[in-house]
Structure 1
């Protein structure tokens, strides 16, 4: 079994650390450039999908990672979701706000629920992402995260508990994948039907039926 040459690593430690720093700097610049290019595209997308009824509630249910965060009791509240936006810090793409906008509803008074992701020094000296706590102003008797709810309603956490969780891992997925690929998720009927190598927002609005018809002879030819 191959083994790591620790002596060689130690001998070249300074040079390797310099390479790591250069890599991090390049990745930061790439992320900033991507945000610069994609923001106006997402703004245009925002205008168009606003014309599609319940676009965001539908996409939430189509995404495995996001739907697993929610329970059936969350659905009526999430049906009031009208917009999702990710606002990045112009100088540091690691810092961003996920902004969920809701229409007036019987559950809470907030017009916007915000998931803020920031960074802080970790135990190893490296910056680590975390999420700031956000207060949801629940209307009386409508708190979907209330610990006084019946036990059988608390087997899984509510989607809205995400706003008080300091774990930023799902927030990063939400911003970098769910938000970025929302149109593709919607058009393809879920993440399972998306091509793994599809890295852009291009979607086929007419070809799905033709593709299904073509799949059958291809499968027969393999027999």
Structure 2
């Protein structure tokens, strides 16, 4: 590479860093402005029975990872809330609040994603399952060769794909999903909601290679 090419490359990198900085600032500002509306929505849907279960089941992307045995548990899901780190928007928590149930003792399940070393890392969360109720223990479906993972398996998973999708796509558009109006909403489109701002901290090419479908493993 010539000295001219090297100098041009350096300028391009500096330019891209400036663009990224502005994109992140805009995304943070948008979250700040939307926060009161999310609080308002929270009050509106507070008494809607099975609101979040309906959102999950209506969504053509998320419903792929919900098993039948997950549904009785998700019927107790009363609230989903996303908290972004005000100093680093790519770090966030998704808080799932549950009413008392026969499956686990936790009142809240939290999926935390931290941006560090120029990438997002999901921290595993421990669910305190009651005896004999652990849905994350793989069970072979009758007549099937594959073992399907429960939705709750993702709380112990370090993959950020689903967390990123819920935080930046599903949560902002929950009302549309509830009304079943999200015809084109899918995992692959999870960067569109933030004004096309990439909050994943990963290269676009890498994201395109990852196709987040239902996880299955052989017994």
| TM-score category of the 2 structures, normalised to the smaller one | 0.7 to 0.9
Aligned counterpart, 2:208 = none
**Residue equivalent to 1:143:** 134
Is 1:165 equivalent to 2:157 in the alignment? yes
TM-aligned CA deviation for residue 90 of structure 1: 1.2
| 1:174 correspondence with 2:157 | no
**Residue aligning to 2:43:** 47
Higher Cα Rg, which structure: 1
More strand by share: 2
Aligned residue number for residue 66 of structure 1: 62
Q: 2:91 aligns with which of 91, 95, 111?
A: 95
Contact 2:124 2:157 in 1 (8 A): yes
Query: Contact conserved, 1:131 with 1:166, CA < 8 A, in 2?
Result: yes
Q: Where do 5+ consecutive residues of structure 2 fail to align? A: 195-219
Cα deviation code 1:24-75 (max 9, x no counterpart):
1101110110111001110010000112111111001011221111111111
Say if 2:113 and 2:160, in contact at 8 Å, map to a contact too.
Answer: yes
Higher normalized helix content (fraction of residues) = 1
Tell me the SS of whatever aligns to 1:144. Answer: coil
Secondary structure of the residue aligned to 1:64 is coil
State how many pairs are aligned: 186
Q: Give the direction of change, closer, same or farther, for the CA distance of 1:25–1:193 in structure 2 (3 Å limit).
A: closer
- Unpaired runs of at least 5, structure 1: 1-5, 122-126, 201-223
Counterpart mapping for 1:191-206 below 5 A: 191-192=182-183
Q: Is the 8 A contact 1:63 1:190 kept in 2?
A: no
**SS of the residue 1:97 aligns to:** strand
Indicate whether 1:13 and 2:4 are aligned. no
Contact 1:63 1:185 in 2 (8 A): yes
User: What is the distance in 1 between the residues matched to 2:127 and 2:5?
Assistant: 50
- Sort the Cα spacing of 1:9 and 1:69 in 2 relative to 1 into closer, same or farther, 3 A: farther
1:57 aligns with 2:50: no
Which of 82, 106, 112 is the aligned partner of 2:78?
82
Match for residue 128 of structure 1 among 109, 116, 119: 119
The structure with higher relative contact order (CA 8 Å, sep 6+) is: 2
Is residue 24 of structure 1 aligned with residue 15 of structure 2?
A: no
1:51 aligned counterpart, secondary structure: coil
